[in-house]
Amino acid sequence: MNSAVVTLFKLAVLAGLVLFPAIGSSFYVELVAKILVMAIFAMSLALLVGFTGLVSLGHAAYFGIAAYTVALIAPEYEAANLWFVLVASVLAAAVAAFFIGLFVLRTKGIYFIMVTLAFAQMAYYIFHDTALGRSSDGIYLNFKPDASLFGWMPFNLDEPLQLYYFILAAMVAVFVLLAFVLRSPFGRVLAGIHSNEHRMKSLGYATFRYKLAAFTLAGALAGVAGFLYAVLFGFVTPEYLSWHHSGNVLMMVILGGLGSLAGAVAGAFAFIGLQEMFSDWTKHWQLLMGLVIVAAVLFMPTGLAGLPRRIFRTINWGEDDE
Distance CA 139, CA 132 (A): 11
Residue 304 phi/psi, 5° resolution?
-65, -30
Distance CA 127, CA 316 (A): 55
pLDDT band at 8 (very low <50, low <70, confident <90, very high): confident
- Beta bridge mates, 81: 146
Neighbour count for residue 145 (Cβ, 10 Å): 21
What percent of the chain is predicted at pLDDT more than 70? 95
pTM: 0.92
CB 88 within 8 A of CB 226: no
Distance CA 207, CA 175 (A): 24
CB 32 within 8 A of CB 67: no
SS3 151: coil
pLDDT in tens, 139-153: 888 889 988 888 778
Answer yes or no: is pLDDT of 68 > 80.
yes
Distance CA 253, CA 271 (A): 10
Using the CB atoms, write b or e for 216-246: b if 16+ within 10 Å: bbbbbbbbbbbbbbbbbbeebbbebbbbebb
Distance CA 13, CA 168 (A): 12
Neighbour count for residue 53 (Cβ, 10 Å): 19
Answer yes or no: is pLDDT of 1 > 70.
no
Distance CA 15, CA 268 (A): 18
DSSP label at 81? Answer: B
Distance CA 160, CA 99 (A): 36
> Residue range 285-291: average pLDDT?
87
> Residue range 48-59: average pLDDT?
92
Answer yes or no: is pLDDT of 278 > 50.
yes
Query: What pLDDT does residue 59 have?
Result: 94
pLDDT in tens, 97-122: 999 999 999 998 899 999 999 999 99
Distance CA 240, CA 141 (A): 15
Answer yes or no: is pLDDT of 307 > 80.
no
Answer yes or no: is pLDDT of 230 > 80.
yes
Structure-model confidence comparison of residues 8 and 93, the more confident one: 93
Task: Give me Rg for the CA atoms of the chain.
Answer: 20
- Which range has the worst mean pLDDT, 12-21, 71-80, 181-190? 71-80
Domains: count for the chain: 1
Distance CA 264, CA 309 (A): 16
Answer yes or no: is pLDDT of 137 > 80.
no
**Domain enclosing residue 139, as ranges:** 3-321
Query: What pLDDT does residue 142 have?
Result: 85
CB 218 within 8 A of CB 45: yes
Q: What is the CATH number of the domain that holds 62?
A: 1.10.3470
> Residue range 282-310: average pLDDT?
83
Distances (CA, A) of 109 to 19, 104, 112, 278: 44, 11, 5, 33
pLDDT band at 322 (very low <50, low <70, confident <90, very high): very low
Query: What pLDDT does residue 2 have?
Result: 61
